[in-house]
Structure 1
Amino acid sequence: MNKLLLPFLFFCMSYTSSAQEIRPLWEGNIPKKITSSEKEFIATDREIIWIEKIQVPTIKVYHPTKRFNNHKAVLLFPGGGYKGLAYDLEGEDFAKWLNTLGFTAIVVKYRVPVSEAIKDNKDVPLIDAQRAIRLVRANAKKWEIDTNKIGVMGFSAGGHLAATLGTHFSTTYSYKKDAIDTLNARPDFMLLAYPVISMQNGVTHNGSRNNLLGTKPTKELIDWYSNEFQVSAQTPPTFLIHCADDGAVSVQNTLLFYNALLENKVEAEMHIYQKGGHGFGLGTNVGDVGKWTVIAAEWLEKI
């Protein structure tokens, strides 16, 4: 190898590692965690990084270059039907994109309810989501982020979790808390891509509902996790994108949430594409949605 190239490659590797950092959500005891022999699983036979049975929830922070830092942040919640996480497709790929716009981007590796290592399974994803945004606010000064400009972006079931955070941010749970747990958990804005919103029959994604609530949830539980019923004037401004031909998560989820936002006079923008299916991520060479990130970037600039 060319000797002149070695220092350059070392610099690139050093810059990459210094521009990212991984932090556990919790110091010491992890809420709702129980002792088990279960281990985290990362699939090696897929085209994406797929993670199940998360044992230690983390955030992976992608820092923009200092010169172009806009002092805003977005937490990313990958989807996976509340069974696993499409960690790169709906996490790391978007973190890199957001960095180009000047955002600090945070990929949240949250615990999913399909696990033997947790109790009160349905509560755990939101507990982790609340902690993640509070942890970002706790580090805002260090990371040069405005504490009033921290949003969330969720995909599919991760969109349900992001929307749940945006509508249930004040919900409290019993576990040993620290100073970080006293911070505001409300996102300042939301971007939801092909999200699961509702838990209602005929609208929901059955796999996500079964994994989160079980196969025989009560009506009260179904309604509480149907975020179209939980919107209020305090729900953050929201950007929504979906495809009419989505065969996994009905476009009705996005339509119901958009209407609820309008009824509560919450700023909202919605884009429905004819073709693109489900799980299109950045949308490169997929149906009609190839340039949706351009529209999303424009909305982010406006908001």
Structure 2
Amino acid sequence: MSQTPPGFVPPKRLAIQPEPDAIPLYSGAAPGSESWKQKEVWTGMGNQVWIRNVTKPTLTPFLPKPGTATGAAVLVVPGGGFRFVSASSEGWGVARWLADNGVAAFVLKYRTMETPDSEADFMGSMSKLFAPRGSADVVPPDMNAATNVAAADAQVALRMIRANAGKWGVDTGRVGMIGFSAGAMTTIRTTLLDAPDARPDFVAPIYGSMQAITPPKSPQPMFVALASDDPLFNKEGFGLVESWQKAGGAVELHYYANGGHGFGSQTQGTTSDLWFNQFMTWMKAKGLLKAKP
């Protein structure tokens, strides 16, 4: 990066940690990436863990303690510009919160675009990706294919959750998706694909693109959160919300004064810290936490 901001902690290589609860999405190579040769890398960014060069996608369950399950389930899709999976802040941390509130959570480690092996070269490429951009260039062209790959993995994950609903204590009619940044784009793309057997029952795109879309028929309930000082998506307006409403979908929007981009499960002393409790309140109000008779 050209300049080092005050307090910047350089990234460091981490040892790849065992993931004993992670379930491979595919029995062999993931379709479409059979020729991928990159090796998975874990990078430490301050107190966060970023996983990049993912070629073998997995699903990791975080289940509520016995006697506390509501039957609701959420597929958690971390962000990372499709160059990495922000596993700790937008994956594991959020999943633990959900499980603590009686919601079965499943973290998706989806396939990502190849990045340079060294942390220095990786950060150089990321500085270009996260530069502020105008509303006409929300999703760079090279992200479209990556979004499709991530959405394909998400569909497999949704099918897996429903197929194992009995084992995991999940109501197949209350399986939703929450995604952050690139994960929010993946959530929307998966929703627009609208496959009958891989359709989320509710969706929560968090600090993702706000551009208008053409919603699916009978749009699912949607929870949206964004900070007004988000450097990527704060100047797009609210086309996503407006188009969803025009199609008959119910939307709850939280637009925070501060929080930046990537607040996830971090606490910053801003009103964006409230998003998770507000999300749980929304789920309760929608009847998603109450078991069907």
Q: TM-score range by the shorter chain?
A: 0.7 to 0.9
Match of 1:260 among 225, 229, 243: 243
Match of 1:238 among 212, 222, 226: 222
What letter corresponds to residue 267 of structure 2 in structure 1? T
Match of 1:282 among 261, 265, 272: 265
| 1:150 has 2:133 as partner | no
What letter corresponds to residue 152 of structure 1 in structure 2? M
CA distance in 1, matches of 2:24, 2:150: 15
Aligned residue for 2:272, secondary structure, equals coil
Task: Give 1:7's aligned residue.
Answer: none
Task: Give 2:86's aligned residue.
Answer: 86
Residues 218-256 of structure 1 deviation map (CA, whole Å, 9 limit, x = unaligned): xxxxxxxxxx32213333110001011111233526x11
Two-structure CA RMSD over aligned residues (Å): 2.1
Match of 2:203 among 190, 193, 198: 190
What letter corresponds to residue 188 of structure 1 in structure 2? D
Aligned residues: 240
| Deviation (angstroms), 1:283 | 4.8
* 1:64-143 paired onto structure 2 within 5 Å: 64-114=64-114, 121=146, 123-143=148-168
Residues 63-100 of structure 1 deviation map (CA, whole Å, 9 limit, x = unaligned): 10120010110000000111111111000000010011
CA distance in 2, matches of 1:52, 1:150: 27
Task: Give 2:33's aligned residue.
Answer: 33
Which stretches of structure 1, 4 residues or longer, exceed 4 Å deviation after superposition? none
Worse overlay, 52-61 or 273-282: 273-282
1:113·1:124 contact (CA, 8 Å) conserved in 2? no
| Deviation (angstroms), 1:287 | 2.2
1:283·1:291 contact (CA, 8 Å) conserved in 2? no
Task: Give 1:211's aligned residue.
Answer: none
What letter corresponds to residue 248 of structure 1 in structure 2? L
Worse overlay, 83-92 or 34-43: 34-43
| Deviation (angstroms), 1:169 | 2.7
CA distance in 2, matches of 1:301, 1:62: 20
* 1:222-237 paired onto structure 2 within 5 Å: 228-237=212-221
Task: Give 1:165's aligned residue.
Answer: 190
Judging changes above 3 Å, is the alpha-carbon distance between structure 1 residues 273 and 127 closer, same or farther for their aligned structure 2 residues? same
| Deviation (angstroms), 1:138 | 0.8
Query: Which structure 2 residue ranges, 5 or more long, are not aligned?
Result: 1-17, 117-144, 287-293
What letter corresponds to residue 165 of structure 1 in structure 2? T
2:23·2:58 contact (CA, 8 Å) conserved in 1? yes
CA distance in 2, matches of 1:37, 1:296: 39
CA distance in 1, matches of 2:109, 2:93: 14
Query: Which structure 1 residue ranges, 5 or more long, are not aligned?
Result: 1-16, 171-182, 199-227
Query: If the length of structure 1 is used for normalisation, what is the TM-score?
Result: 0.74
CA distance in 1, matches of 2:236, 2:269: 21
What letter corresponds to residue 28 of structure 1 in structure 2? G
| Deviation (angstroms), 1:50 | 0.3
| 1:291 has 2:274 as partner | yes
Query: If the length of structure 2 is used for normalisation, what is the TM-score?
Result: 0.76
* 1:173-212 paired onto structure 2 within 5 Å: 184-198=197-211
1:22·1:59 contact (CA, 8 Å) conserved in 2? yes
Worse overlay, 104-113 or 27-36: 27-36
Aligned residue for 1:39, secondary structure, equals coil
Task: Give 2:252's aligned residue.
Answer: 269
| Deviation (angstroms), 1:149 | 0.4
CA distance in 2, matches of 1:115, 1:275: 30
Q: Percent identity?
A: 30
Larger Rg: 1
What letter corresponds to residue 144 of structure 1 in structure 2? G
| Deviation (angstroms), 1:294 | 1.5
| Deviation (angstroms), 1:114 | 3.7
CA distance in 2, matches of 1:258, 1:121: 24
